[in-house]
């Protein structure tokens, strides 16, 4: 993937009757990402994390960290599906907040596994980047649903000090 900064991406509104949630992510070359595509993307992340955890070395640390990663990584897809069934904009935003938190936590646990050399960095790096992109997409979708501008045009990650 690749692209120019500031290109438009629109993610489907999950059937809430809300205007499409505009996302500015360079990797999508300005095309529309549908609800189905984002659902599939979060599901692929979950499956990738399951595969990663199943190949962790045996031991107490790997079991604990792997369990944490497994729970949050699979939760991303489940909570996005739940957000798509939200009954209101407010409920959608709340559920997307959970998606954001779980994807960010997944990225953290993958970083821990890499730093502890429990997984090959080249194997886990794709999952780490995908979790980061899902965080960025989710944050921007939440902002758009709220109708608030980006606090920092250089970053999709919220910074309360900049708002």
Instruction: Please give the helix or strand (H or E) that residue 97 lies within, else none.
Output: helix 89-115
pLDDT digits (tens, 9 = 90+) for 32-89: 678 889 999 999 999 999 999 999 999 999 999 999 999 999 999 999 999 999 999 9
Phi and psi based region of residue 29 (left: phi greater than 0; alpha: psi -120 to 50; beta: remaining): left
Judge if pTM exceeds 0.75: no
How many folded domains does the chain comprise?
1
Domain at 85, CATH number: 1.20.1440.60
Within a domain: 136 = yes
Range of the domain at 88: 35-146
Does residue 156 fall inside a structural domain?
Answer: no
């Amino acid at each position: 993937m690749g692209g120019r900064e500031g290109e438009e991406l629109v993610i489907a509104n999950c059937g809430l009757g809300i205007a499409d949630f505009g996302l500015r992510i360079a990797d999508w070359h300005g095309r529309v990402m549908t609800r189905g595509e984002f659902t599939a993307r979060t599901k692929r992340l979950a499956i990738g994390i399951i595969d990663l955890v199943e190949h962790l070395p045996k031991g107490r640390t790997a079991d604990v960290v792997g369990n944490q990663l497994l729970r949050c990584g699979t939760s991303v897809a489940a909570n996005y599906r739940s957000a798509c069934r939200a009954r209101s904009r407010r409920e959608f935003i709340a559920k997307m907040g959970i998606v954001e938190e779980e994807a960010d936590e997944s990225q953290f646990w993958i970083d821990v596994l890499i730093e502890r050399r429990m997984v090959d960095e080249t194997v886990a790096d794709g999952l780490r980047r995908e979790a980061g992109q899902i965080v960025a997409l989710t944050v921007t979708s939440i902002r758009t649903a709220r109708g608030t501008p980006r606090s920092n045009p250089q970053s999709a990650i919220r910074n309360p000090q900049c708002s």
